[in-house]
Amino acid sequence: MGATAALDRWQFAVTIVYHFLFVPVTIGLAWFVAGMQTAWHRTGKEHYLRMTRFFGKLFLINFALGVVTGIVQEFQFGMNWSVYSRFVGSVFGAPLAIEGVVAFFLESTFLGLWLFGWDRLRPRVHLAMIWMVVAGTTSSAYFILAANSWMQHPVGHVLKDGRAEMDSLGDVLLQPLQLTHFFHTIAASLVTTGLLVTAVSAYWLRKGENVELFRSAVRGALWVTVAAAVVVIGVGHYQAQIIARVQPMKMAAAEALYETRSPAPLSLLAIGPWEKHPERTDVDIVLPHGLSVLATNSWNGEIRGIDDVQREYERRYGPGGYTPIVGSVYWSWRVMVTIGFLALLYGLAWLWLGRRRGRGLDRSRWFAWSAYLFLLLPFLANTAGWLFTEMGRQPWIVQGLLRTHDGISPLVGAGSVIATLSGFAVVYSVLAVIEGWLMLRAVRTGPERPAPEITREDALPPMLY
């Protein structure tokens, strides 16, 4: 791969990984805030209202930063990846256009109505606004993931005049890989939000302030974490089965499996030569039959190895290397899976300990520090998941149709990419500082003070941040 193609990939990786730090928080907080406002609307309990407004601040901060960092992605398609854009434009453009015109603009509209409508809209109408924001945020994720899933497993298209042209929008939007990607991402977003709310609540419980509010918040957050982690693990199981069928090289690399095996063991720890494309493992501690059960639901199911898939791809697509960087795929897969199970165990453990203590987790030093530590893990897992998804597909930018180095813009040189990448690094560093400052300031400021006799029917003061 040429220097320009490598730089193009680095630029896109840096911008998308940074952008995806905000996406799960925005999706998950939208659901959490809507749930809290619904609870207030149904019960009239004031602490639900204060939670809605407090965590609504965090949602708005992340939404704004997510929009700013997300705009760059679509510009890069036309600037650095013009050959790719021309090749997939007929297919890839449809879900992105739907996302931009329908999901994003509706999401922004209803968010504005929710933000400024506290004292202007009827309570039920105002509640409907936040649920429309949830619908917009979630559907936005759906259409973007549909475009990405098509790159992983291109369906519903025909090749015409050197381009992929859509012949079935339903196939593109509803293929099984897309459905598992979507539910996996939404559940991971809820895990991220559950642990974020847990950490924020632990901070205030440790201080001994707003105890009733944050007791309720932490109970809800831990239950969200547990339920979402179960979905992440369950959907991930089905996702692995689909990947084994439609992207056999990715699954083989994820397990450092070089020879086709039946039954296939699950690798627990593999160590190989320190190379980009090692041809063997020196140490491989395995669980017999484990991969067969995971990927095929069969005790003796066959899993194709790297060498076998490489030979098939050479026959089908011509000479070349079709193996991704095995170490990156292998370890990103394990980081993602391990953190998913840790989140489940963490939520269950503190729900049990909190119930045994009677007064919950008030002023618990161990709970506070564990919450701060676990707050970092879902962001690491989300990043690892994206690295696994994208790096495991290499050398393809569209699986089986277009190689990555063939998709770059021929007239954009390495110097231009270096200049823009440097600029993005500076801008994103500034945005990271702004994000951190705004979030910490909002958390330390805490929820608004209780207002006298607030009910569902009362007119509320404007929600100004």
Residues 372 and 260 in one domain: no
Assigned domain for 395 exists: yes
pLDDT at residue 315, rounded to an integer = 93
Residues 132 and 25 in one domain: yes
pLDDT at residue 1, rounded to an integer = 54
Provide the domain count of the chain. 2
Of 271, 304, 323, which residue constitutes the final position of a domain? 323
Residues 216 and 295 in one domain: no
Residues 43 and 82 in one domain: yes
Rounded Cα–Cα distance for residues 46 and 28 (Å): 22
pLDDT at residue 322, rounded to an integer = 92
pLDDT at residue 142, rounded to an integer = 92
Q: Are 193 and 24 in contact (CB under 8 A)?
A: yes
pLDDT at residue 34, rounded to an integer = 94
Rounded Cα–Cα distance for residues 45 and 447 (Å): 15
Assigned domain for 453 exists: no
Residues 337 and 318 in one domain: no
Assigned domain for 3 exists: no
Assigned domain for 463 exists: no
Assigned domain for 196 exists: yes
Assigned domain for 454 exists: no
Of 291, 308, 323, which residue constitutes the final position of a domain? 323
Residues 369 and 274 in one domain: no
Rounded Cα–Cα distance for residues 377 and 370 (Å): 11
Contacts of 141 (CB under 8 A, 6+ apart): 23, 27, 182, 185, 186, 189
pTM, two decimal places: 0.90
Assigned domain for 418 exists: no
Q: Are 343 and 378 in contact (CB under 8 A)?
A: yes
pLDDT at residue 359, rounded to an integer = 56
- Find how far residue 444's CA is from the centre of its chain: 27
Assigned domain for 169 exists: yes
Of 299, 323, 347, which residue constitutes the final position of a domain? 323
Which residue range(s) make up the domain with 73?
18-247+328-411+425-445
- Find how far residue 358's CA is from the centre of its chain: 35
pLDDT at residue 33, rounded to an integer = 93
Residues 185 and 293 in one domain: no
Residues 237 and 275 in one domain: no
Which residues does the chain have with pLDDT short of 50?
358, 453-454, 456, 459-465
pLDDT at residue 450, rounded to an integer = 67
Rounded Cα–Cα distance for residues 35 and 226 (Å): 16
Residues 372 and 350 in one domain: yes
Rounded Cα–Cα distance for residues 465 and 453 (Å): 22
Residues 186 and 52 in one domain: yes
Residues 101 and 171 in one domain: yes
Residues 169 and 315 in one domain: no
* Beta strands 163-166 and 283-287, pairing class: unpaired
Rounded Cα–Cα distance for residues 196 and 363 (Å): 18
Closest CA to 374 of 348, 394, 398, 356: 348
pLDDT at residue 464, rounded to an integer = 39
